[in-house]
Every structure is written in C-alpha cells, then in structure tokens.
Amino acid sequence: MNKQWKFFWHVSVWTCLLSLFFFFVYSSNQVTLNYALVIVFVYGAVNIGLFYLNYLWLIPAYLDKKHYGRYIVAVMLTTIIVGLIKYGMKLMFEGALSGTKAEALTFWPYFISTLFSSLMFVFFSITLQFTIDWFLNERIQRDLENQRLNAELSFLKSQVNPHFLFNSLNSIYSLAYQRSETTPEAILKLSEIMRYMLYESNDNKVDLEKEVHYLQNYIDLQKIRFGHKAFVEFDVNGTIDNQRIAPLLLISFIENAFKHGVANDPQKPIKMQMNLQSGRLDFSVENKKHANNRDATGGIGLSNVKRRLNLLYPGKHSLVINEDELTYTCKLSISL
C-alpha cells in the first residue's frame, strides 16, 4: 500500500472514530456542546498524537530493536508528559469543563486517570504495529515459499525435456539402424514435439488442445517406430474448448506405457483414454507388462510427475496406480 492510501485510511478511520465518539458523548451524557468538542477533539488530538509518537518513533527506535528496557522507560516518560499536558489543558478549558466531574478532580486523581487513557492509546499503536508486522511476515513467507516452489517446478520441468529427448532419440536411432523409410517422418514428428516443448510449454498453464496434440504426436512417433506391429488406442471423450492444464504432465504415463509395456499384442493393446466433464479431466493408461519391465537406469518420469502434481494441484488431483503380474494401470483425475 502506497503512502497516499495509508494516509487516506488513517485519516478516514480517525475521523469516523472521533465522530462516533462525539455523537456518543454529546447525545448520551446530556453535556454542553463545548464540553463535547473539548473532550472529543482537543483531548482526542493529544491521544492521537501519542498514538503516532509511539507508532512512528518509539516502537521503531526501541521495541523493534529489542531495547525493551529503554522502550518501557520512554513510554513511561512520554505518558507522564502527556498527563501533565492534559492537566494543563484542563486548567486552560475550565470554562468548557465547568460543572463536570473533570473540573472537580484534583491533580493526582485527574493525572492518574489520564495515564490509563494514554496507555490505552499506546497499547492500540503496539497492537497495530504487531498486526502489520505479522501480515508482512506472512506475505514474505508466502513469497519465499512460492519462489522455492517455482524453482523446484522449473527444475522438475527441465528434467522432462532431456528425459523425453533421450527416449525419442533412442526410438529414431532404432529406425535409422533398420534403414526404415519412416525415419524422416519420425524426425519431423520429433521436431514438432520439441517445438512445442521449447516454445509453447513455458507458461504455467497451456491450452489443453495443444497438450493433447502434443500427446498425439508422441503416440504417432511411437507408432512409426513399431510400424504395423503397434496396437494403440487413444480416445478423447468430451469437449475440448478453453480448458488449460499444466504442460508436460501426462506424457510420463504414456512414455512408461511404451517403454515398459507391450505395444505389439493385438489382444492387449495399450489403451489411453481422456474424459472431460464439468471442469474435470480423467486420464487413464493401461498396458500389458513385459516379462522384465524394470527400468535399468531408474527413470525419473513418474516420480517427477507425482511431485509436480503435488505442487501444481494440491488437493485437486488423485493418482491411482495398479499393477499385477500382467497389467499396469494408471488413473489420474485433475480438477482443471
């Protein structure tokens, strides 16, 4: 909040408080107008001055620096001086206070009563400062946490590209080694995929339509690799319009299906399905397992995407992974 707005809010709050107090004093106690004006606005100005003296000077000079003893002494001296000022004002405005309880009070009773009112405004200023400090600290902590999470997400996302590129280049190398005629088409698909990953997936969210197109390109690339022996089903149910999703979240599930699954069994094809309904995305992948499906390099795909899901969709996703001796199934639900 800039200084102009701070000044505006402080003036507005004090104006409202003094006006309400004036209405209360003047209407409920049946006093004269002069008495109400003196009590509310003259004494109010002194109390407000004490409030800001403590808020703008004593607290920053002593309390914020943990000079607690000096702060207590400074507050005591200040309230004593303010009490003497208020008693001097009592003598100055005897005409307006004539016939009231304030006029009847002698020095010590009057001085002690003003100490309590002064300490109350000191307490208000301390409370305000502590409240502001608490909110500032909370905001700083949130900013630091967001920076940490963004740095972690950037690191996790940076791992996706090399991981994907490594697997794709292995596939294209296999085609080139076999002197397959589909090698140029595979390279073109990889080029489209890398263009998306480099230039279109840098935002926190991307259009779901682009993400689905990216997944389809990857599936086509794998089909090229397997040739006519690939049996893959990819179905999208529901309407894709303006939904947005964190980029590169779903690719790890599809990668694992091709890497660890069996894609050349017509009886057990790799099945991928995406359902869209009421702002929710349900995505599932099912594949037949290889007899030996352990990743010798200890791949980072699923552990990466699990962490990203926890950071990007906390409390807004569910991931269920089931496997038996023959089948591996992943089911992911996200509230977009």
Domains identified in the chain and CATH numbers: 3-141 (no CATH), 180-335 (3.30.565.10)
pLDDT band of residue 282 (cuts 50, 70, 90) is: very high
Residue 238 confidence (pLDDT) above 80:
yes
The pTM of the whole model exceeds 0.85: no
How high is the pLDDT of residue 94? 63
Distance (Å, whole) CA 302 – CA 9: 52
Residue 96 confidence (pLDDT) above 60:
no
pLDDT band of residue 114 (cuts 50, 70, 90) is: confident
Least confident of 77-91, 94-108, 122-136: 94-108
**Percent of the chain predicted with pLDDT > 70:** 80
In tens, the pLDDT along 148-184 reads: 666 655 655 555 556 667 767 777 787 787 777 778 8
Tokens of 193: 């995929």
Query: Which residues 6+ apart lie within 8 Å of 164 measured at CB?
Result: 193, 197, 251, 255
**Quick one: which H or E segment has residue 274?**
strand 270-277
Alpha-helix runs per DSSP H in 178-317: 183-195, 208-226, 251-260, 301-312
Alpha-helix runs per DSSP H in 98-207: 101-104, 107-177, 183-195
How high is the pLDDT of residue 331? 92
Mean pLDDT along residues 75-102: 73
Long-range contacts, stretch 158-162, CB < 8 angstroms, 24+ apart: 159/300, 159/304, 160/197, 160/248, 160/251, 160/252, 160/304, 161/197, 161/198
Distance (Å, whole) CA 22 – CA 38: 10
- The residues pairing with 286 across neighbouring beta strands, listed in sequence order, are 271, 329
Least confident of 28-32, 51-55, 83-87: 28-32
Residue 301 confidence (pLDDT) above 70:
no
Sign of the C-alpha dihedral computed for residues 53, 59, 65 and 69 taken in this order: positive
Residue 63 confidence (pLDDT) above 50:
yes
Higher pLDDT: 136 or 98? It is 136
Least confident of 162-166, 213-217, 324-328: 162-166
Higher pLDDT: 245 or 37? It is 245
Long-range contacts, stretch 210-217, CB < 8 angstroms, 24+ apart: 211/245, 211/247, 211/250, 212/236, 212/240, 212/274, 214/251, 215/250, 215/251, 215/254, 217/189, 217/192, 217/193
Least confident of 103-107, 231-235, 316-320: 103-107
For 169, half-sphere exposure in the C-beta direction (CA atoms, 13 angstrom radius) is: 7
CA distances 74 to 58, 77, 91, Å, are 7, 5, 26
